[in-house]
Amino acid sequence: MTAMLPHIKVWLDHFEYHALHPRKIPEGVTNLLTEDEKHLIGRSTATFQLGEQSEGGSLMKAAQRFAALHNEPRLVRITELFIKEEQQHATLLREFMEDHGIALSKRDWTDQVFRGVRKLADYELYVSVLITAELIANVYYRALETVTGCQKLRVLCRMLVADELAHVAFESEMLLAIRSKRPMLARLVIDALHRSFFFGATCVVWVTHYGVLRRAGYRLDTFLRACHAQYEFYLKSPFVHAPTTSTP
Ligand SMILES: [Fe+2]
Ligand SMILES: [Fe+2]
């Protein structure tokens, strides 16, 4: 496992450091949200707030099994800290919503789908689903930042993106390491399935968060492209690592 994920110590330090320095909105940041903005972002933000909430029970179990199998206890600690960080995101978003009287969402079908799949999953599948949500969330939070003049929300979006970038970097490293141990055919199939799921999720996010994304200047094709670029950057096609006989 150590060979499987050479930077695990770096990741452990990263998450330990973040746990000691929780994200805080700096004092003095203005917190004015217009009625129009509230109307535009309210429900959409509530869905993402719900998505950030993680009891983490099934992830913890999957990580414990995986860590035991690969004799890598540090993964358990990383997962514990990761879950705390996500809970912090949910809290920051909830506080912002409460500031502006935006109703929290208790249930959302897209959230249920993500949770349902994850519950069934082993560690690899769990992380695949998680990274799908986070890669798309990063495009979404950047879009959200551009549709509001509210300084607090803008700072919050940047904080969330900064943390999520580290999450997807960790998770993609983990997934690529796990997948690289598989035969090429299996890697191709897994990649194709993941891409299909990712594409479906992107379409669903487009439809369900249309207002914010459209206001941010996206069209369906540009949104799909932005999300796809995230996938390519972090998860690369297995062909990229395949030995090639052709000359470029
Ligand atoms: Fe998060
Ligand atoms: Fe995350």
Tell me the pTM.
0.91
User: What is the pLDDT, as a whole number, of residue 246?
Assistant: 41
How far does residue 30's CA lie from ligand 1's centre (Å)? 23
Residues around ion ligand 1, judged by CB within 5 A, are 52, 86, 89
Q: What is the mean pLDDT of the chain?
A: 91
pLDDT band at 106 (very low <50, low <70, confident <90, very high): confident
User: What is the pLDDT, as a whole number, of residue 117?
Assistant: 74
Contact 134, 171 (CB under 8 A): yes
Contact 216, 209 (CB under 8 A): no
CB atoms within 10 A of CB 9: 11
Query: Long-range contacts made by residues 188-194, C-beta under 8 angstroms, separation at least 24?
Result: 188/238, 191/235, 191/237, 191/238, 194/128, 194/132, 194/235
- Does residue 2 register a pLDDT over 70? no
pLDDT band at 3 (very low <50, low <70, confident <90, very high): low
The runs of H, that is alpha helices, within 209-248 are 210-215, 220-235, 238-241
Ligand nearest to the CA of 159: 1
Contact 148, 37 (CB under 8 A): yes
How far does residue 219's CA lie from ligand 2's centre (Å)? 25
Report, in this order, helix, strand and coil percent for the chain, each rounded to 5.
75, 0, 25
How far does residue 66's CA lie from ligand 2's centre (Å)? 19
Nearest to 82 by CA among 99, 97, 67, 98: 67
Ligand nearest to the CA of 171: 2
| Ranges 117-131, 139-153, 166-180, 222-236: which has the least confidence | 117-131
